Chains A and B, each alone.
Chain A
Amino acid sequence: MEPLLQHLERFSEVLVVSSTTHVSTWDPATVRRALQWARYLRHIYRRFGRHGRIRRAMERRLHNRWWLEGGFGSSPVPGLTNFQALGHCDILLSLRLLENRDLGDAARHHLLQQLFPGPGVPDTEEEPLQDRLACLARRRSAVHLLCFYGYKENQNLPEDSLLKTQAEMLLERLQEVVKAEAEGPSMFLSSLWERLPQNNFLKVIAAALLQPPVPPRPQEEDLELGGPKTPGEGGQELVHWLLGKSEVMAVFCRHLPTGLLTVVASRHRELSRVYLGLLTDWGRHLHYDLQKGIWVGDESQDVTWEELYDRFQSLCQAPPPLKDEVVTVLKSCKAQDGDFEVPGLSIWTDLLLALGSVA
């Protein structure tokens, strides 16, 4: 077992190197050896993919390694990150080498010969590398064509295929990170938050929180190439992290569409409490402008009356128990303010009045 795991680690290193300038020292023989190695590991993947114990050992080693390498930050080009990657490690290697300008002419020529011997050349493998590379190219143009000519961003965000795919990937990584280290997910998510475009990240988080819970399949069955799998407990990790990061939660609740937030809140009770807390906070920042006759904020970044109203309205249209909770909160805030029935004195009174029969 240990020699095998060391093979994995060393190949992972090779994979990292294949993207660096170091490849300028590679000659055709090195290229050939690297490809053979990848082929061997792919064979291992197919052989032991359904063998629970060996597979788990390999997964652990790869997850730990990726984690220790700082997979959550510094290195832009990782080695092997998980077990599925093993299934197409030859493609990973080939594409990195092909795109690396520092690879010498002789080595490059040899690489192309190895990768593309030509149609009609018999291969011992049922799915030759050449065909799989061509299939990947074909799938990419398929995505491009469908995207360009048929795609329209789905208003129902969790159903949008781009967001859904990203959400699935995020959840898969979270599952792996959890296995590497218990505190892993929080650190991982925080680092992502620092590095990635936040707008998109927020939407992906929302989509991830709303992925349908799928019954866990036995791991042995999953040998398919590409495509993240079941969400599992990744969703719980997300919630845990959000609860610990109040500034993220504030942005999350402020910038995502109202309807989406309501659905998230219905699904995750702990988040709904934080959301309501934020809303009441924001509400308290508004004061009544006698001249204009409306509730306004002191600063420009304060929430407006309309926004507040929209959110509460949406929440009141959610199914119980969320709806009931919202109404209770509104009523208790109103009571704290003095339980006025007259408008203009307590924002909570006014909200309840405006919500009318909905509340």
Chain B
Amino acid sequence: MAQDSVDLSSDYQFWMGKLSVWDQASTLESQQDTCLHLPQFQEFLRKLYGALKEMDFNTVIERFPTIGQLLAKSCWNSFILAYDESQKILICCLCCLINKEPQNSEESKLNSWIQSLISHILSAFRFDKKEVGRFTQGLGYAPVDYYPGLLKNMVLSLASELRENHLDGFNTQRRMAPERVTSLSRVCVPLVTLPDVEPLVEALLTCHGHEDQEILWPEFFDAVNEAFLQKKISLPTSAIVCLWLRHLPSLEKAVLHLFEKLISSERNCLRRIECFIKDSSLPQAACHPAIFWIVDEMFRYALLETDGAPEVLAAVQVFTQCFVEALEKENKQLKFSLKTYFPYASPSLAMVLLQNPTDIPQGHWHQPLKHISELLRKIVEDQTCGSCGGPFESWFLFAHFGGWANTAIEQLLMSEAEPPAALLWLLAFYYSPCDGSQQRAQTMVEVRAVLGCLLRLSRRATLSARDLLAAAGEGRDADAGPGASALIRRLLLTFLLRVPGGRAIARDAVALMAHTDEITHEIIGFLDQTLYRWDRLGIEAPGAGELAKELLQELHAQVQQRM
């Protein structure tokens, strides 16, 4: 408590200083500075009100002798009054200062003065002296009757003037002067969250200036972006795209905002991740290649920084899926060729990866898989292929469409034939992209062995969990990397779900496998991802689906208990 009051006192001094400099916000610099500080000032006002309402009048004057000045200066700054809830909090602060029973004329006068400030906030800016005021009075209308309509007309008129900029490119007289456009964008900064002003904000964002440089104020973009991220303004996607194209920091903030939401939300729930991503409007905006590149770059960076964390990988995949859906909806005729989005990738690889698995009958999935594998292998093993960005780029491109890897695993387990080398290579590459060719070959051998075991076990009448794990662990090299282990775990889990014999021992097997927290989370992730994928692709998996859901619930409960 004491610390709070010390903080408040020093804040008070700071803001008192600021307000003195800003004065009535009539100069460009003072307006700029005011706009930069509007949110923080409002926070300060809230804290101040919290303190004032607990004190009686004399205490207030003791602690903050200049409070009258502070509040008065705030009232005369029209940018502050126009922002969010600042006017309301100011009035409440002023009300705290009113003396209920003034003892002498001094106190009465003070009351009067405070009263006039409150009046100013509520009824300032009248058209009294001008003809408009007299006209409205003559008709018997009060400001509350006509101000909303007046605001609406002004906004629509300004918005249509701005749009004439866009349509009438050659009609110089009707074009709005750039200084006026800049002025408007400045003035809109405090007003961004007022719903009446939204058409003007939209018009400002979408008007294309004829100057080389940006004429809108950067603080305007920041304010709109903040309001959009906090859902305090609703704008059509086209306006948001304009915002992000014209002001790169806003786009970066939007992506970071999404990352924060993803990190702080429940782990391993792809459905929720999909919601957040769609909600952010980023997939739709990414139909514009420039935006896609930036977002993709940020995902790439996150992936590298976290050493390929599975959560980040999952986010990349869900994002890509949302993006592809948005692209299909948006482009009846493709405006930009696919190559534009993945400039560093081989075009044929991009084409195959972007195929929708639902367009291909289930029985034929091995064909595109083989094709993908061959293309990738060629790029990765061919040292001279410099134009394709090296193994990481290829892996990153493939990782966008990681669903193919899951499909490959299922294909391997469902068929009784000899596992094709192409699929083995693909999986080994996906799970351990950094392996040298020898290591990879080793992994392929191991996987083949495990598959063979699983096939034999699936033919047995009865199966035990212990047998299964023992067989899978057989002949494994102790030095096998984490990637290879993850791959093998995946094979086992898929086996448990998909093969009837496996389902019977699933619980026991999972219990044996989940001996560390990390592996438990990995299994939870696998189950969630599998259910999500089956749902999306419309794969019928009777029995397996229910089992997966039950296992998921049980593991979640286990994790909760351990916490």
A and B found bound together: yes
Partner of B157, one of A92, A99, A133, A159: A159
Pairwise interchain contact A99-B123, C-beta atoms closer than 8 A: yes
Pairwise interchain contact B123-A95, C-beta atoms closer than 8 A: yes
Pairwise interchain contact B151-A142, C-beta atoms closer than 8 A: yes
Pairwise interchain contact B140-A150, C-beta atoms closer than 8 A: no
Q: How far is the CA of A152 from the CA of B162 in the complex (A)?
A: 13
Does A353 have its Cβ within 8 Å of any Cβ on chain B?
Answer: no
Knowing A113-B95, A131-B88, A134-B87 are in contact, say whether A145-B118 is a contact too (CB < 8 A): no
Q: Please give the distance in Å from B513's CB to the nearest CB on chain A.
A: 51
Does A160 have its Cβ within 8 Å of any Cβ on chain B?
Answer: yes
Chain A residues with CB under 8 Å of B184's CB are 146, 149-150
Knowing A150-B184, A165-B150 are in contact, say whether A160-B138 is a contact too (CB < 8 A): no
Interface string of B80-123 (1 = CB under 8 A from A): 01100101110110010010111000001001000100110111
Chain A residues with CB under 8 Å of B141's CB are 81, 169
Restricting to A156-176, which residues have a CB under 8 Å from any CB of B? Answer: 159-162, 164-166, 168-170, 173
- Find the B residue at minimum CB distance from A152: B180
Chain A residues with CB under 8 Å of B256's CB are none
Partner of A165, one of B87, B111, B146: B146
Q: How far is the CA of A13 from the CA of B134 in the complex (A)?
A: 23
Does B543 have its Cβ within 8 Å of any Cβ on chain A?
Answer: no
Knowing A134-B91, A143-B125 are in contact, say whether A226-B144 is a contact too (CB < 8 A): yes
Knowing A98-B122, A162-B132, A200-B131 are in contact, say whether A119-B88 is a contact too (CB < 8 A): yes
Pairwise interchain contact A142-B82, C-beta atoms closer than 8 A: yes
Q: How far is the CA of A66 from the CA of B184 in the complex (A)?
A: 40
Does B46 have its Cβ within 8 Å of any Cβ on chain A?
Answer: yes
The stretch that binds A, out of B8-16, B190-198, B233-241, is: B190-198
Knowing A105-B101, A141-B78, A154-B157 are in contact, say whether A162-B150 is a contact too (CB < 8 A): yes
Q: How far is the CA of A143 from the CA of B191 in the complex (A)?
A: 10
Pairwise interchain contact B115-A140, C-beta atoms closer than 8 A: no
- Interface of chain B: mostly helix, strand, loop or mixed: helix
- Find the B residue at minimum CB distance from A166: B135
Q: How far is the CA of A196 from the CA of B131 in the complex (A)?
A: 8
- Find the A residue at minimum CB distance from B111: A105
Does B63 have its Cβ within 8 Å of any Cβ on chain A?
Answer: no
Q: Please give the distance in Å from B232's CB to the nearest CB on chain A.
A: 13
Q: Please give the distance in Å from B123's CB to the nearest CB on chain A.
A: 7
Chain B residues with CB under 8 Å of A113's CB are 95
Does A85 have its Cβ within 8 Å of any Cβ on chain B?
Answer: yes
- Find the B residue at minimum CB distance from A204: B135
Q: How far is the CA of A227 from the CA of B154 in the complex (A)?
A: 12
- Find the B residue at minimum CB distance from A92: B142
Chain B residues with CB under 8 Å of A144's CB are 78, 124-125
Pairwise interchain contact A130-B88, C-beta atoms closer than 8 A: yes
Interface string of A115-130 (1 = CB under 8 A from B): 0101100000000001
Pairwise interchain contact B88-A227, C-beta atoms closer than 8 A: no
- Identify the interface centre among A108, A116, A118, A137: most chain B CB within 10 Å of its CB: A137
Interface string of A163-199 (1 = CB under 8 A from B): 0111011100100000000000000000010011101
Q: How far is the CA of A76 from the CA of B101 in the complex (A)?
A: 33
Knowing A138-B87, A143-B154, A150-B184 are in contact, say whether A112-B140 is a contact too (CB < 8 A): no
Knowing A109-B100, A116-B91, A138-B81 are in contact, say whether A91-B147 is a contact too (CB < 8 A): no
Pairwise interchain contact A145-B187, C-beta atoms closer than 8 A: yes
Pairwise interchain contact B124-A134, C-beta atoms closer than 8 A: no
Q: Please give the distance in Å from B162's CB to the nearest CB on chain A.
A: 10
Knowing A71-B140, A130-B88, A227-B149 are in contact, say whether A150-B134 is a contact too (CB < 8 A): no
Restricting to B33-50, which residues have a CB under 8 Å from any CB of A? Answer: 46, 49
Pairwise interchain contact A119-B49, C-beta atoms closer than 8 A: yes
Chain A residues with CB under 8 Å of B131's CB are 196-197, 199-200
Pairwise interchain contact B132-A149, C-beta atoms closer than 8 A: no
Does B148 have its Cβ within 8 Å of any Cβ on chain A?
Answer: yes
Chain B residues with CB under 8 Å of A76's CB are 137
Q: How far is the CA of A99 from the CA of B128 in the complex (A)?
A: 14
Chain A residues with CB under 8 Å of B78's CB are 141, 144-145
- Find the B residue at minimum CB distance from A117: B92
Does A214 have its Cβ within 8 Å of any Cβ on chain B?
Answer: no
Pairwise interchain contact A169-B92, C-beta atoms closer than 8 A: no
Restricting to B147-184, which residues have a CB under 8 Å from any CB of A? Answer: 147-158, 180, 183-184
- Find the B residue at minimum CB distance from A159: B157
Q: Please give the distance in Å from A135's CB to the nearest CB on chain B.
A: 8
Does A228 have its Cβ within 8 Å of any Cβ on chain B?
Answer: yes
Does A136 have its Cβ within 8 Å of any Cβ on chain B?
Answer: yes
Partner of B149, one of A131, A133, A160, A226: A226
Q: How far is the CA of A109 from the CA of B57 in the complex (A)?
A: 14
- Identify the interface centre among A76, A84, A141: most chain B CB within 10 Å of its CB: A141
Pairwise interchain contact B144-A141, C-beta atoms closer than 8 A: no
Restricting to B60-80, which residues have a CB under 8 Å from any CB of A? Answer: 78-79
Pairwise interchain contact A146-B140, C-beta atoms closer than 8 A: no
Pairwise interchain contact B153-A161, C-beta atoms closer than 8 A: yes
Does A46 have its Cβ within 8 Å of any Cβ on chain B?
Answer: no
Does A255 have its Cβ within 8 Å of any Cβ on chain B?
Answer: no
Q: How far is the CA of A106 from the CA of B101 in the complex (A)?
A: 7
Does B417 have its Cβ within 8 Å of any Cβ on chain A?
Answer: no
Pairwise interchain contact A118-B194, C-beta atoms closer than 8 A: no
Does A232 have its Cβ within 8 Å of any Cβ on chain B?
Answer: no
Q: Please give the distance in Å from A329's CB to the nearest CB on chain B.
A: 33
Pairwise interchain contact B149-A141, C-beta atoms closer than 8 A: no
Does B136 have its Cβ within 8 Å of any Cβ on chain A?
Answer: yes
Does A48 have its Cβ within 8 Å of any Cβ on chain B?
Answer: no
Does B440 have its Cβ within 8 Å of any Cβ on chain A?
Answer: no
Partner of B147, one of A112, A140, A148, A150: A140
Knowing A95-B142, A165-B146 are in contact, say whether A146-B187 is a contact too (CB < 8 A): yes
Chain B residues with CB under 8 Å of A99's CB are 119, 123
Chain A residues with CB under 8 Å of B139's CB are 169-170, 173, 192
Does B249 have its Cβ within 8 Å of any Cβ on chain A?
Answer: no
Pairwise interchain contact B144-A192, C-beta atoms closer than 8 A: no
Does B400 have its Cβ within 8 Å of any Cβ on chain A?
Answer: no
Q: How far is the CA of A169 from the CA of B89 in the complex (A)?
A: 32
Q: Please give the distance in Å from A335's CB to the nearest CB on chain B.
A: 41
Interface string of A219-249 (1 = CB under 8 A from B): 0000001111000000000000000000000
Does A40 have its Cβ within 8 Å of any Cβ on chain B?
Answer: no
Q: Please give the distance in Å from B14's CB to the nearest CB on chain A.
A: 22
Chain B residues with CB under 8 Å of A227's CB are 146, 148-149, 152
Partner of A141, one of B85, B87, B132, B137: B87
Pairwise interchain contact A142-B144, C-beta atoms closer than 8 A: no
15 A-B residue pairs with CB within 8 Å: A78-B140, A85-B145, A88-B145, A95-B142, A106-B100, A116-B91, A133-B88, A137-B88, A140-B125, A148-B187, A151-B154, A152-B180, A161-B156, A192-B139, A226-B144
6 A-B pairs with the lowest CB-CB distances in the bound complex, closest first: A227-B149, A226-B148, A134-B88, A200-B131, A144-B125, A161-B153
19 additional A-B residue pairs with CB within 8 Å, beyond A76-B137, A95-B122, A139-B148: A85-B145, A118-B49, A136-B143, A140-B125, A142-B151, A142-B194, A143-B125, A145-B82, A146-B158, A151-B154, A164-B153, A169-B135, A169-B139, A169-B141, A170-B139, A196-B138, A197-B134, A227-B149, A228-B149
Interface residues of B (CB under 8 A from A): 46, 49, 53, 78-79, 81-82, 85, 87-89, 91-92, 95, 98, 100-102, 108, 111, 115, 118-119, 121-125, 131-132, 134-158, 180, 183-184, 186-187, 190-191, 194, 196-197
